[in-house]
Structure 1
Amino acid sequence: VSFHYRADGFFPGSGDSDDIGAGPGRFASVNVPLKEGVSDAQFAASFAAVIDAAFEAFDPGAVVCQCGADALATDEFKIFFNLTLTGYLDCVKLLLQSAGRCCSGRWRRLSFPLWTAITALAVGVDLDKDIPEHSFFSQYGPDFCLDVTPSLKRNLNDSTELRLLVESAVENLKRLAEALQL
């Protein structure tokens, strides 16, 4: 599902509402091209309706959210939208609520420390391993720290097989790079 600005001559030149995929992927691509000046309320209402339908249709096991900041009202490139942080956060809250209802919750206990650690890394913040008391403290149990100890599970990854897999992937990427230069 993609909500984006769409106009003739505007990169990437695709993303019309009738760009729905092809072949076995027909109807799997959902584009919501918006015009200049869309407000928080309009964006959130449109987002809610489409996301609810998307969750109903796809019943996803995972959700990836990418929020481009160029839709903010104060974007220096003036990419035409009029959204505030509230508009973005309202949509992300809805997405999190929807994902919580359908995406497998059995890993949720491990998700909290993982996401916290990744976010801290992304923003350049060092965190203590011990989780401080807060309203979601219980979600970090049973040891209440940002650490995962390796298990005693047997490693079935043979170093030679792993090396060959990596070499194959690198070779395929070289071929892709060559094909793109044609």
Structure 2
Amino acid sequence: MKKKIIALMLASLFLVSCGKKEEPKKEETKTTESTKTEEKKEEKKKDNIGFDGKVAELNDLKIEIIDYKIIKVGEKGNEYGSKPIIAFWYNTTNKSDKEIDPSIAWLAVFTAIQDNNKNMVNELKVAGHPDDSLIDTQDAKIKKGGTVKNAIAYELSDETTPVTLKATQGMDGKDLGQKNFEVK
């Protein structure tokens, strides 16, 4: 009788274990969850790309405009220029392992335009650096996660037409947005 009971218990254990769904191992669950998390982060990253008029957000970098100013000929920041300039002060943050410096990052993202010519797009020329205190940061290599302040200036072609700062993802890339800056 004891043999029958033991045999029945073993048989029922066998049947229960055969019908039982196999649960994924904890490591497999973690891997699947981390893959899903990474995919969500990538989607969010792509969604955050753009320019809201103050911050240009890209996958590899972020540029935040912290100030702008019109500087007349002969004034501090435009001592040697022959035209008034519009100067922008900004922070560049490196979000990648790529080699990024503030000046190249700005020039790769932004184009300054004064729409005062009915026949052509009037892209403004870069002027001399407007802030002596930041000359050493203009070509500094920014570490991943680091932020460096810099400034850039453009020669104005007139003193009334707003300057449109147009942001793109790379020089010929996707349009990220634009903002007009008054010059009066």
TM over 0.5: no
State the TM-score, normalizing by the size of structure 2: 0.22
Q: Which structure has the higher relative contact order (CA within 8 Å, separation 6+)?
A: 2
Higher helix share: 1
Higher strand share: 2
Q: Which is higher, the Rg of structure 1 or of structure 2?
A: 2
State the TM-score, normalizing by the size of structure 1: 0.22
